[in-house]
């Protein structure tokens, strides 16, 4: 990002034109180069290839035999894709339902499946089924045209489809667990359907705090003047709906290598086969036609501050009857766990637990699979049951 800012600032005199370049797929992928890039991306991506890549991610982690991959049709006619970890012993315990974050999918939890299988699904005292569910418009779930034009419509796009999945699965109550933007959307689901949520677990959730007063002026003060010149372009592109997927799609044959370099840099501690499978899965996931990804600017302002911060909505959630809330973060997570501690302090009437996983950042489930899985199992099962 620093290099992009520095390079872009050299074009400060052409900022209006540069802004137009970044304003979205229609302009970003225009012309002959754009046509070639789109044609290449379309030719090498498909849902069947994404499904194969997802299976390979699970296989590389010794987890394919532990899950059943399902596509559940909901009342709207669309379908939601999920990976189910069944409990061999029948139990009345509400199932654990995990929802991925932005631009990810169920395969991002493949490293955790063996732990979830042994510590939750087949726990001797309190076994419970586990489901990892792709949000509508993401992963291998249906990808309808995204037409929401307000925060309420955007939240409903995801919330109502998850409710449709719950009804189709005949789940009465669940432990709902969401990562990053999936955490924000899981919170929104609990607001709308509180009677269906026994326990809300937020994994490094997006959108918790307010944007601090003076944040942008302090950011400007820290950046070199050349970098400051491009900030208006970046914020304009964000507000106009430019997404990581649109960038990857326009990169054509270079998109796969770009995603692989990010995967290796951020999650490089896995086995070679695991990393290759994860890179392939991550690329195919974002390179497919965009749908739910376009919700980003409807929910978050530039620099990932929420239009409607969750810190203002906790008390309302308690009043609706959701009183068991856990936050889990990585110890070097850019979603700062101190925001959850502030929420905990400001809402003494709400039982809020905050956990921090060592040796993990924002993608804690990938960066410390064992530590994350233990923290999740403790939150869901309770230490007294787990140990």
Q: What global pTM score does this model have?
A: 0.88
Looking at residue 16, its pLDDT comes to 38
The whole-angstrom separation of Cα 252 and Cα 41 is 6
Q: Which residues on adjacent β-strands are paired with residue 98? A: 132, 177
Looking at residue 369, its pLDDT comes to 95
The whole-angstrom separation of Cα 83 and Cα 69 is 5
Helix or strand run (H / E) with residue 37: helix 31-44
Which of 303, 305, 312, 354 lies closest to 329 in space, CA to CA? 354
Tell me if 266 sits within 8 A of 330, measured CB to CB: no
The whole-angstrom separation of Cα 341 and Cα 146 is 35
What is the full per-residue pLDDT of the chain (387 aa) written as tens digits? 333 333 333 333 333 333 333 333 334 444 444 444 444 555 567 899 999 999 999 999 999 999 999 999 999 999 999 999 987 777 779 999 999 999 999 999 999 999 999 999 998 888 999 999 999 999 999 999 999 999 999 999 999 999 999 999 999 999 999 999 999 999 999 999 999 999 999 999 999 999 999 998 888 888 888 778 888 888 888 888 888 898 899 888 889 999 999 998 888 766 678 999 999 999 999 999 999 999 999 999 988 999 999 999 999 999 999 989 999 999 999 999 999 999 999 999 899 999 999 999 999 999 999 999 999 999 999 865 554
Which of 87, 62, 83, 114 lies closest to 365 in space, CA to CA? 114
Indicate the SS3 state at residue 95.
coil
DSSP 8-state assignment for residue 30: -
Q: Which residues on adjacent β-strands are paired with residue 69? A: 83
Tell me if 360 sits within 8 A of 333, measured CB to CB: yes
Kindly report the length of the chain: 387
User: Strands, E, within the chain: which ranges?
Assistant: 68-73, 79-85, 96-99, 130-133, 174-179, 197-203, 300-301, 305-306, 325-330, 352-357
């Amino acid at each position: 990002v620093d290099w992009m800012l520095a390079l872009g600032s050299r074009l400060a005199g052409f900022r209006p034109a540069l802004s137009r370049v970044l304003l979205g797929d229609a302009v970003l992928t225009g012309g002959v180069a754009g046509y070639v890039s789109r044609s290449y991306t379309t030719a090498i991506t498909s849902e069947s290839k994404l499904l194969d890549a997802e299976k390979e991610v699970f296989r590389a982690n010794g987890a394919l035999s532990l899950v059943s991959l399902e596509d559940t049709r909901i009342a709207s006619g669309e379908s939601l894709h999920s990976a189910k970890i069944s409990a061999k012993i029948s139990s009345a315990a509400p199932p654990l339902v995990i929802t991925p974050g932005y631009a990810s999918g169920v395969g991002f939890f493949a490293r955790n499946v063996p732990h979830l299988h042994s510590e939750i699904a087949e726990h001797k005292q309190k076994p419970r089924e586990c489901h990892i569910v792709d949000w509508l418009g993401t992963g291998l779930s249906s990808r309808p045209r995204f037409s929401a034009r307000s925060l309420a419509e955007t939240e409903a796009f995801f919330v109502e489809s998850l409710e449709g999945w719950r009804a189709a699965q005949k789940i009465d109550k669940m432990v709902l667990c969401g990562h990053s933007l999936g955490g924000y959307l899981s919170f929104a689901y609990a607001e709308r359907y509180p009677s269906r949520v026994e326990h809300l677990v937020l994994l490094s959730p997006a959108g918790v705090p307010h944007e601090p007063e003076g944040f942008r002026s302090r950011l400007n003060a820290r950046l070199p003047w050349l970098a400051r010149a491009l900030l208006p372009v970046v914020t304009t592109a964000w507000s106009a709906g430019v997404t990581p997927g649109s960038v990857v799609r326009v990169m054509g044959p270079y998109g796969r290598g770009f995603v692989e370099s990010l995967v290796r840099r951020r999650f490089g501690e896995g086995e070679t086969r695991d990393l290759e499978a994860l890179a392939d899965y991550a690329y195919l996931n974002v390179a497919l036609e965009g749908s739910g990804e376009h919700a980003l600017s409807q929910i978050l302002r530039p620099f990932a501050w929420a239009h409607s911060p969750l810190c203002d909505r906790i008390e309302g959630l308690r009043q609706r009857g959701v009183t068991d809330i856990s936050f889990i973060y990585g110890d070097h997570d850019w979603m700062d766990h101190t925001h959850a501690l502030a929420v905990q302090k400001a809402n003494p009437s709400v039982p809020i637990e905050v956990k921090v996983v060592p040796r993990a950042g924002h993608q804690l489930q990938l960066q410390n699979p064992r530590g994350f899985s233990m923290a999740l199992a403790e939150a869901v099962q309770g230490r007294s049951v787990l140990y």
